[in-house]
């Protein structure tokens, strides 16, 4: 059913996977605090977790926390071209005159998402700017620190500062749905929510997508979505 959520008074799908949807990530506050501490201490750190676990959403929270307290650059490395672009990324912070006069800012906070796509040349430039104190802190995000293709010199600087995101617990999944639905949180039972979470292999992004599919199919129900309702809709998932 198209735009099912509008019937409930939502302007947008409450189960959107847009990383900016959560004001506060469920069960990840310790990880957010750890990343913030590494930034304050002027370190490099690596946030690892499977795709759909919430790495980008965590970086969005970091941007919000440090907004106005420092120069923050977020970049999705999958969008970086083969040529070196880190230089231009830095100099663009000062706009036209930064590019014209080759001015590089200082005390930058760099958040690099999907670092599996980060080229070796860009990695070397990041290390250079970090060592020259143009960059205060670098937070890398990817699926695996050990399997990442970062130069050993950067891995040495990261050291033990690796934050691993764990899957949500069943309780966390229920809390996330409750938070997304707000005053409509009674529309689905906890048991049905846990089934959807299991069907999504405990992956947060897939979980939210399945919740949207479930509600799209059953939003016309007059009663709360039950375990049996969820089984029928998700039988072939």
The CATH class, in words, for 168-233 is: mainly alpha
Between CA 207 and CA 213 the distance in angstroms is: 10
Nearest Cα residue to 138 out of 150, 146, 128, 130:
130
In our burial notation (b when 16+ CB lie closer than 10 A, e otherwise), range 186-197 reads ebbbeebbbbbb
Task: Provide the residue-wise pLDDT of the chain in tens; the chain has 237 residues.
Answer: 557 888 888 889 999 988 777 666 889 999 999 999 999 999 999 999 999 999 999 999 999 888 755 578 888 888 765 454 776 666 665 554 444 445 566 788 999 999 988 888 888 888 988 998 888 999 999 999 999 989 999 999 999 999 999 999 999 999 999 999 999 999 999 999 999 999 999 999 999 999 999 998 886 666 789 999 999 999 877
Q: How far apart are CA 84 and CA 103, in angstroms?
A: 17
The pTM (predicted TM-score) of the whole model is 0.85
Q: What single string gives the DSSP state of each residue in 21-69?
A: S-SS-TT-HHHHHHHHHHHHTT-EEEEE--TTSSHHHHHHHHHHHHBTT
Query: What residue ranges do the domains of the chain occupy?
Result: 29-164, 168-233
E strands, 60-134, are 71-76, 108-113
Q: Please, are residues 87 and 125 in contact by the beta-carbon 8 Å criterion? A: yes
Query: What pLDDT is stored for residue 106 in this prediction?
Result: 76
* Residues 75/111, Cβ–Cβ less than 8 Å: yes
Q: Right CATH number for 29-164 from 3.40.50.720, 2.60.120.260, 3.40.50.300, 3.40.50.2300?
A: 3.40.50.300
Intrachain domains 29-164 and 168-233 with the same fold: no
């Amino acid at each position: 059913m198209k735009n099912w959520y509008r019937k409930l008074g939502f302007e947008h799908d409450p189960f959107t996977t847009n990383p900016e949807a959560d004001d506060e990530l469920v069960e990840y506050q310790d990880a957010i605090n750890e990343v913030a501490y590494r930034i304050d201490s002027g370190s490099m750190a690596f946030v690892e977790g499977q795709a759909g676990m919430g790495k980008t959403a965590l970086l969005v929270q970091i941007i919000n926390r440090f907004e106005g307290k420092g120069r923050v650059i977020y970049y999705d490395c999958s969008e970086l071209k083969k040529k070196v672009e880190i230089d231009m990324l830095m100099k663009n912070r000062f706009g036209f005159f930064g590019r014209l006069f080759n001015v590089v800012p200082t005390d930058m906070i760099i958040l690099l998402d999907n670092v599996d796509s980060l080229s070796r040349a860009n990695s070397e430039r990041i290390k250079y700017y970090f060592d020259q104190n143009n960059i205060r802190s670098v937070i890398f995000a990817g699926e695996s620190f050990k399997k990442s293709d970062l130069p050993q010199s950067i891995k040495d600087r990261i050291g033990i500062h690796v934050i691993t995101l764990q899957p949500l617990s069943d309780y966390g999944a229920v809390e996330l749905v409750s938070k997304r639905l707000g005053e409509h949180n009674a529309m689905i039972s906890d048991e049905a929510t846990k089934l959807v979470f299991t069907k999504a292999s405990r992956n947060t992004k897939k979980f939210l997508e399945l919740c949207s599919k479930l509600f799209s199919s059953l939003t016309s129900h007059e009663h709360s979505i039950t375990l049996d309702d969820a089984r029928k809709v998700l039988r072939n998932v």
